[in-house]
Amino acid sequence: MSQDTKKPGVKRREFLKVLGATSAAVAAAGCSEETGKLIPYLVSPDQTVPGVSTYYATTCRECSAACGLIAETRDGRAIKLEGNPDHPVNHGALCARGQSALQGLYNPDRFRSPMVNEGGAWKVITWDDAITRLSQGITQTRGANRAGGAVFINQHESGSFPRFLDTWLAGFGMPPHLSVDFESDAAAIEANRRTYGVAWPSLSFKDAKIIVSFGADFLDSWGANVPQQLDFADARARLDGAPRFVYIGPRRSLTGLNADEWIACKPGGELAIANALAGKGSIQQAATDAGVDQAALQALATELAANKPALVLSGVSGESALDVALAVAAINQASGAVGVTIKPAQPLTGFEGIAHTDQLLGAVERMRAGQVSVAFVRGVNPAYHLPKASNFADAFAKVPLRVSFSSFPDETTELCNLIIPDLHSLESWGDAEPIRGTIALQQPVMDPVFPTNSKTIPVAPGTADVLIQVAKKDATVASKFGAPDYRATLIAGFPGGAQALGAALPKGLAAGTIPARTLAAAPAVAPKTTSIASTQGEFFLITYPSPLLGDGRGANKPWLQELPDPVTKVSWSSWIEIHPETAQRLGIDRGDILEVKTANGTVRAPAFPYLGVHKDAIAIPFGRGHRAAHAMPMFDPKTHTVGEVQWGYGRYARDLGINAFDLLPVGTHAAGGFIWTATKASVSKTGDNEALPSTEGSARQHGRGIAQAVNAADLNKPGAGEGGEAKEALPGDASHAFLPGLRSPVAADAQGDLGAPTAADQGKNKGLYREDDIRGMAKRRWAMTIDLARCTGCSACITACNAENNVPTVGAFWQNATIYADQKPGFNITRGREMTWIRLERYFEGNPDGKFGQDFETRFVPMLCQHCGNAPCEPVCPVYATYHAPDGLNVQVYNRCVGTRYCSNNCPYKVRYFNWFGYGEVDRKQYAFPEPLNWQLNPDVTVRGKGVMEKCSFCVQRIREAENRATLEHRELQPDEFTVACAQGCPSRAITFGDAADPNWTVAQLANDKRAYHVFEELNTYTAVVYLKKVNHPAAGATAPRA
């Protein structure tokens, strides 16, 4: 062994040392402080199966009605909302706003943590800090003996919370809160209270022999629209036994479009008509005062007298609102409606205890006088809703401590100095009493979306919990709040305690009542208003809540922004409705930017000629026009940092449209409610024109028989099924007899004529498909019926489909190309690139010479992929991306589609939609689901990338899920065991889905109804969607408009 030889390279010992050290270093680096979360559950709760959804019952808080929800959650995330079938108010249906609650829960602009405004700059603080600050602020106020001047403005809700809140306020020496609901009809509520003793009796349309509405838009946002729509649709489904519906008002809303007759009176004329119909005044005088046709009014009076009981509703919003409502109550009483069509014994208690605008204005005046020491705002947005003329911002600024519990960066929140965001209703505990005698429970369906930033508070708290924490910090109040959190409070107050609550939670319902707040009697209100007649302008200005956005709450939910308004079919934009003859006279075209001026303000918006507005009026919806108080840069998804607050109500809502409240004066009527039709306005052209983002191509059918109708009187005549309206008989037409299985004898699809009754073997041969396959695909024919007599055009089906099938919204202004392309909201809609798989077509009928009078009829047609037995789209796809499944579905294979779009060219219904940009691709500017909106995506449905075609799949994921479940349980699929998303949500129950080849399913029976027809039958497409003709009830002696 030589001493001076050194082995070259690394010695073994050193190598092992180094290896050991680096391994330790790497392992140590892996154990860093930051842990990322890979999957929602490491240890899932009991009874959850990966890939199978868990359902929780809760309550919807999108409006005051408090309908019941079943929330479908998957892996700890809520992905879909359905109505609760056992709930006495909505019976399993859900409106578009309820479906969109998910986009509120996952809204990317929600506050993630509390914030405080120090010296004009907003700073994020921890929950502890927020609670401490709030506590200190209140202590300070009490110390200065100013607690009596506090104001708490809460978004009206029913349940235990109002009482809880009052107890809390009283503990600190503060007066009871104001429970505000801007959509509520104060006049109707006051009249109900005076007449029946309750704020809102249940209404029964089914039991009425005639329905008359004075501007009460019960299908839009007046009252509780879901139960009203359910009942109304059931009433109309009686066909020839259905009550006629007459709508009286200056603007034909969605509710008005569903009426058999519209009496277009000028704003303010309703009082004369109501009095005349109640017997106080002559019909002739009323006709002159209101500017309506005397004969029509006389006919209505006669009809009312002959058809008892009637249901007459009042939803007028003018200075005489209360008088009209009282007159209407008199008509109802005379008609024997009480107890039959109006049920005070079953009131919707959700409308009790609403503080109307006059009380809110009183509070604002107190603020202005410096009498208010601390103001709390929760869920309501007075800075937006109160007109500019009320100068709310100035008054509010005088309050030293302004606390907002709002979750969204709305206009009021921006004026506050402390933000403690509430949890969303889907993340919180609560309860409601939607109808007297039933308690509806509200439970969190998932953990809060945004984690807590506090080390001592493990889960982000809701407002109730925050209030309890604040109470506990004060020795005197803490005694009243022994429970650790709001959940415990609820349990303590629930009849039967924790056990009963636990037993009630799966259905979400329990019998019982919740004690109401004890409120001092509201003082009599003197109306503060100037008469509309004394205002300047040549047009009456009608403003109304948008049926989708409500009073503005839905503006940052892209589903609701993109849903075309049910009446005008415009999305992502404000508009000014004007009568077509007036427009012609003034030289105004559709889309011309008009300037509307009142004594209070000026706005500019595109014109929308609409035949459903009075000749002397213009109409503007409110809900859009949100602004940030200070200038903000335009939103850019590429440079936006997460958590950067999008003031002005969020990225989708900011600077979009106009705020109609800017034009209105501050005025309340005799019942204390805000007057929406309060002023006249002058209109002038600016010379600009802007294409309205609308999905409407032509509003007329041009005789194509897409939406067919039959008069009630002709229903039982022979030939009503085939006749009704003339149909083109084209040469070469195949037989139109409805095949029970809806299989086309000429279809050359995967199954050929297998299963068709006209085949030689009468459909018994299953060919290649295994006869013993328990799912029996080859024997099914999935089909759908849509009853146009029921459909009211509410668009709930569209939102349900969007939620279920991951359909992207495309109207945000950044969802356009990058280089040299318009960045305008709704641009893609202007380009016809909407993506909704089901759309509502709205066709007007009547007056074919184009001069529209008030005698026009509207037909709503939900149009979706017809899953044709002889589909034109299938043979032309070069790569077999669309083919016919053996159970009758027209299948679209996203991964195979190369995007030639020939299928869409060949589809006569134009129900195929193309992904023009990467709406479903995360790293693209046009991505439609910014975090955390993508939490809502349904894992059972592919998220489509750029360049592929998509269309309605008849919710194939639900079909397969049901079939798989039946297979696993070794049984057959039961008839009507499941249904598709649009059918499930529809509050009109217009859509029925199922297996038309099996006579036990409802759809098979409905498809053979005498009113049934296929759209474009002459093209021999053999559609699986069967429409049932609308039934019209024209006035006696009138001729119904022909198609």
Partner 1 sequence: MATTATPLPGGQRPNIPSAAVRFPAIKTYDQVDREIAGTLGPSLGWFGALGIAILCMLIGATAWTYQIHEGLGAAGYQPPVMWGVYIVTFVFWVGIGHAGTLISAILYLFRAGFRTSIYRASEAMTVFAVMTAGLFPILHLGRPWKFFWLIPYPNWRLIWPNPKSPLVWDVFAILTYLTISSTFLYIGLIPDIAILRDREKNPIRKAILSQLSLGWRNSDREWRHFTRAYLFLAAFATPLVLSVHSVVSFDFAMALTPGWHATIFPPYFVAGAIFSGIGMVFTIAIPLRKAFKLEHYITLNDLDAAAKLCLFTSSVVGLAYLTEFQVAWMSGNRFEQDYFWNRVFGQWAWAAWIMLICNVVLPLSLWSQKLRRNPAWLFILSLFINLGMWFERFVIVVPSLSHEFEPWQWGTYRPTWVDYSILLGSFGWFFMWFLLFIKQLPVMAMAEIKEVILPPMRRRRDFSHDLTQGVVDPDETGATH
Taking CB under 8 A as the rule, does residue 703 contact partner 1? Answer: yes
Site string for partner 1, 1003-1022 (x = CB under 8 A): -------------x--x---
Taking CB under 8 A as the rule, does residue 44 contact partner 1? Answer: no
Give 948 or 956: the residue with its C-beta nearer to partner 1. Answer: 948
Give 328 or 611: the residue with its C-beta nearer to partner 1. Answer: 611
The rounded distance, in Å, linking the Cα atoms of 497 and 492 is 6
Q: Which of 271, 464, 877, 986 binds partner 1 (CB under 8 A)?
A: 877
Rounded to the nearest whole angstrom, what is the least distance from the CB of residue 455 to partner 1 in the complex? 45
Taking CB under 8 A as the rule, does residue 726 contact partner 1? Answer: no
Distance of CA 188 to the CA centre of its chain: 23
Is the distance from CB of 909 to CB of 866 less than 8 angstroms?
Answer: yes
Length of the chain: 1043
Rounded to the nearest whole angstrom, what is the least distance from the CB of residue 655 to partner 1 in the complex? 23
The rounded distance, in Å, linking the Cα atoms of 831 and 251 is 29
Three-state secondary structure call for residue 348: coil
Distance of CA 942 to the CA centre of its chain: 24
DSSP per-residue string spanning 641-706: PTT---TTT-TTTBT-S--GGGGPPP-B-TTSPBPSS-EEEEEEEEEEE----B--S-SS-TT--S
The half-sphere exposure of 957 on its side-chain side, counting CA atoms within 13 A, is 14
Helix (H) or strand (E) holding 463: helix 463-473
The rounded distance, in Å, linking the Cα atoms of 675 and 927 is 41
Give 468 or 907: the residue with its C-beta nearer to partner 1. Answer: 907
Three-state secondary structure call for residue 235: helix
DSSP H stretches of helix in 237-341 = 254-257, 270-278, 283-290, 294-306, 321-334
Taking CB under 8 A as the rule, does residue 241 contact partner 1? Answer: no
**Is the previous residue joined to 606 through a cis bond, with omega within 30 degrees of 0?**
no
Taking CB under 8 A as the rule, does residue 901 contact partner 1? Answer: yes
Taking CB under 8 A as the rule, does residue 876 contact partner 1? Answer: yes
Rounded to the nearest whole angstrom, what is the least distance from the CB of residue 820 to partner 1 in the complex? 6
Rounded to the nearest whole angstrom, what is the least distance from the CB of residue 985 to partner 1 in the complex? 22
Please give the structure tokens belonging to residue 835.
Answer: 């993506």
- Using the structure block, give the residue that is written with the tokens 């085949």: 759
- Find the part of the chain contacting partner 1 (CB under 8 A) among 574-582, 610-618, 640-648, 703-711: 703-711
Taking CB under 8 A as the rule, does residue 727 contact partner 1? Answer: no
Q: Which of 123, 194, 480, 700 binds partner 1 (CB under 8 A)?
A: 700
| Near partner 1 in 842-871, by CB under 8 A | 843, 863
- Find the part of the chain contacting partner 1 (CB under 8 A) among 9-17, 416-424, 828-836, 850-858: 828-836
Q: Which of 281, 512, 875, 932 binds partner 1 (CB under 8 A)?
A: 875
DSSP state at residue 415: H
Taking CB under 8 A as the rule, does residue 41 contact partner 1? Answer: no
Give 564 or 776: the residue with its C-beta nearer to partner 1. Answer: 564
Rounded to the nearest whole angstrom, what is the least distance from the CB of residue 978 to partner 1 in the complex? 30
Question: Crossing angle of helices 497-504/486-493, nearest 10°?
Answer: 100
Q: Which of 146, 366, 398, 831 binds partner 1 (CB under 8 A)?
A: 831
Taking CB under 8 A as the rule, does residue 535 contact partner 1? Answer: no
φ and ψ of 31, to 5 deg? -95, 65
Rounded to the nearest whole angstrom, what is the least distance from the CB of residue 817 to partner 1 in the complex? 4
- Find the part of the chain contacting partner 1 (CB under 8 A) among 199-207, 500-508, 611-619, 836-844: 836-844
Give 463 or 866: the residue with its C-beta nearer to partner 1. Answer: 866
Give 496 or 703: the residue with its C-beta nearer to partner 1. Answer: 703
HEC string for 107-158? CCCCCCCCEEEECCEEEECCHHHHHHHHHHHHHHHHHCCCHHHCEEEEECCC
Q: Which of 262, 914, 935, 978 binds partner 1 (CB under 8 A)?
A: 914
**Which string of b and e fits 49-61 if b means at least 16 CB within 10 Å?**
eeeebbebbbbbb
Q: Which of 579, 626, 743, 839 binds partner 1 (CB under 8 A)?
A: 839
Please give the structure tokens belonging to residue 722.
Answer: 């085939």
The rounded distance, in Å, linking the Cα atoms of 825 and 822 is 9
Site string for partner 1, 706-725 (x = CB under 8 A): x-------------------
Taking CB under 8 A as the rule, does residue 704 contact partner 1? Answer: yes
Give 117 or 904: the residue with its C-beta nearer to partner 1. Answer: 904
The rounded distance, in Å, linking the Cα atoms of 250 and 613 is 6
Taking CB under 8 A as the rule, does residue 750 contact partner 1? Answer: no
The rounded distance, in Å, linking the Cα atoms of 693 and 831 is 8
Neighbour count for residue 560 (Cβ, 10 Å): 27
Give 758 or 906: the residue with its C-beta nearer to partner 1. Answer: 906
Is the distance from CB of 40 to CB of 50 less than 8 angstroms?
Answer: no
- Find the part of the chain contacting partner 1 (CB under 8 A) among 498-506, 581-589, 692-700, 971-979: 692-700
Site string for partner 1, 936-975 (x = CB under 8 A): ----------xxxx--------------------------
- Find the part of the chain contacting partner 1 (CB under 8 A) among 74-82, 515-523, 905-913, 982-990: 905-913
Taking CB under 8 A as the rule, does residue 819 contact partner 1? Answer: yes
Q: Which of 8, 50, 697, 718 binds partner 1 (CB under 8 A)?
A: 697
**Is the previous residue joined to 1034 through a cis bond, with omega within 30 degrees of 0?**
no
Rounded to the nearest whole angstrom, what is the least distance from the CB of residue 477 to partner 1 in the complex? 58
Question: What number of chain residues touch partner 1 (CB under 8 A)?
Answer: 59
Q: The dihedral of CA 796, 797, 800, 806: what is its sign?
A: negative
Taking CB under 8 A as the rule, does residue 899 contact partner 1? Answer: yes
Give 41 or 880: the residue with its C-beta nearer to partner 1. Answer: 880
The rounded distance, in Å, linking the Cα atoms of 445 and 447 is 7
The rounded distance, in Å, linking the Cα atoms of 530 and 998 is 65
| Near partner 1 in 424-463, by CB under 8 A | none
Is the distance from CB of 188 to CB of 331 less than 8 angstroms?
Answer: no
Pairing verdict, β 890-892 and 882-884 = antiparallel
Q: The dihedral of CA 258, 261, 266, 270: what is its sign?
A: negative
Give 200 or 909: the residue with its C-beta nearer to partner 1. Answer: 909
- Find the part of the chain contacting partner 1 (CB under 8 A) among 130-138, 551-559, 637-645, 813-821: 813-821
Rounded to the nearest whole angstrom, what is the least distance from the CB of residue 815 to partner 1 in the complex? 9
Q: Is 381 exposed, middle or buried (0-12, 13-18, 19+ CB in 10 A)?
A: buried
**Contact residues: partner 1, CB under 8 A:** 695-698, 700-704, 706, 728, 730, 816-821, 828, 831-833, 839, 841, 843, 863, 872, 875-880, 896-902, 904-906, 908-910, 913-918, 926, 946-949, 1016, 1019
